[in-house]
Amino acid sequence: MRMKDDHMQNGQLKPGYNVQVSSESQFVIHYSLHQTTNDLHTLKPHLNTFADLYTFFPEQLTADAGYGSEENYAFLEEKQVETYVKYTSFDKENGILKSKRKKKKQHIDRDKLYYNKEQDKYICPMDQSMYKIRQKKSKTKSGYLQKSSLYQAQNCSGCALKGACYKAKSNRIIERNHPLERQKERARKNLLSEIGVQKRKQRTAYVEPVFADIKSNRNFKRFTHKGMEKAEFEFGLHALAHNIRKKSA
């Protein structure tokens, strides 16, 4: 829904609700409202309310890169939901997204370096081993604990590729989130499969028309009620009207 400006009219404070919808063949089968602007943190509560309503989790889930995080992937794996959820760099990695901007000369990306899983080390472009030096822990906004490993080159001074590899003066350090990489590999395999390609095409055909119909055809671009309970009821009426109209079409 479009966010309404506050009384200062400066665009800084914009109270509103983040509406999440589950759809099947352009029918709304579930919806939920959230008071967070980031879609990453809406997937788990949305699916939990889905399970509360239907007493089960969906067998499969297709979503765009706005939902692709380690926390969400781990949650979907725990609930045995087959994942067709993109991660941020999926389109770029697979040549789907091509930037029109002129590319700037950048350092050699970590993903282009060889990782030796058996010895748990990276190999730099000059065939130098980069060993793990420590583990890094961090928490997401939702409190989810993430663990990453840091790998450092032994001696970058005097390296002929240092300017192209990276810019810092010290030996290069790269970071790898092993659980996330495993989840991304699982998602990548599903997304590039025959059924994954089909689901990616269906996602825009199933979800986007729902919002287009409710916002454009029904002209619902702003909530008229305040409070989560009333706003949920209001959107529910529009979702019901959409389904009835779709059924009778």
Give CA 8 to chain center in angstroms.
33
pLDDT of 105 > 60? The answer is no
CA distance 244 to 28: 10
Over the stretch 186-213, which tens digit does the pLDDT of each residue have? Answer: 999 999 999 999 999 888 888 889 999 9
Task: List the beta bridge partners of residue 63.
Answer: 85
pLDDT number for residue 13 = 56
User: Which pairs from 111-116 meet CB under 8 Å and 24+ separation?
Assistant: 113/174, 115/176
Minimal CA–CA distance to 183: which of 49, 84, 54, 50? 84
- Which pLDDT band, with edges at 50, 70 and 90, does 97 fall under? low
What integer best gives the mean pLDDT of the chain? Answer: 88
pLDDT number for residue 98 = 61
- Which pLDDT band, with edges at 50, 70 and 90, does 1 fall under? very low
- Which pLDDT band, with edges at 50, 70 and 90, does 5 fall under? low
pLDDT number for residue 2 = 46
Percent of the chain with pLDDT over 70: 90
- Which pLDDT band, with edges at 50, 70 and 90, does 3 fall under? low
- Which pLDDT band, with edges at 50, 70 and 90, does 165 fall under? confident
What are the tokens at 81?
């939901």
Sheet with 114-116: strands ordered across: 114-116, 121-123, 129-139, 145-153, 173-176
Q: Please name the residue that has the structure tokens 């297709």.
A: 62
pLDDT number for residue 106 = 61
The pTM score is: 0.85
pLDDT of 238 > 90? The answer is yes
CA distance 175 to 40: 22
CA distance 235 to 195: 32
- SS (HEC) of the chain: CCCCCCCCCCCCCCCCCEEEEEEECCEEEEEEEECCCCHHHCHHHHHHHHHHHHCCCCCEEEECHHHCCHHHHHHHHHCCCEEEECCCCHHHHCCCCCCCCCCCCCCCCHHHCEEECCCCEEECCCCCEEEEEEEEEEECCCCCEEEEEEEEECCCCCCCCHHHHCCCCCCCEEEECHHHHHHHHHHHHHHHCHHHHHHHHHHHHHCHHHHHHHHHHCCCCCCCCCCHHHHHHHHHHHHHHHHHHHHHC
